[in-house]
Amino acid sequence: MALNLREARAELRDKTKRKIEIETAWKWASRAVAAYERFVAEKTTAARKLKWLVQATDYEHEAKEHSAEAGIAPAVSRALKAQKKRLRIPFDD
């Protein structure tokens, strides 16, 4: 992995800060749900299961931070809550 200045320059030229924050929020929210899915599916060890839970909550917090910055926190929170309900995740922060 390395810096990709060409992509960053194009993004800054073509998108508003809000648009970047919106895309980033949804990307982190998607990662959170995918990690919660891995948490639910993990059957090997408690440590591996816990690893996915920690990652999922970390990703969820990133999603919430970026969604607040973009002014879309309610929509992202609703989507995350619905997915956690679907997965029967027994807690919501």
pLDDT digits (tens, 9 = 90+) for 17-70: 999 999 999 999 999 999 999 999 999 999 999 999 999 999 999 999 999 999
pLDDT band at 3 (very low <50, low <70, confident <90, very high): very high
The encoded tokens of residue 74 equal: 């309610």
Q: Residue 92: is its pLDDT beyond 90?
A: no
The encoded tokens of residue 31 equal: 């990662």
Residues 6+ apart with CB under 8 A from 20: 11
Query: How far, in Å, CA of 53 to CA of 60, rounded?
Result: 10
Query: How far, in Å, CA of 60 to CA of 73, rounded?
Result: 12
Q: Is 80 helix (H, G, I), strand (E, B) or coil?
A: helix
In sign, the C-alpha dihedral spanning 27, 57, 90, 42 is positive
CB 29 within 8 A of CB 76: yes
Q: Residue 93: is its pLDDT beyond 70?
A: no
Query: Which tens digits make up the pLDDT trace of 78-90?
Result: 999 999 999 999 8
Query: How far, in Å, CA of 29 to CA of 31, rounded?
Result: 5
Determine the pLDDT at residue 16.
97
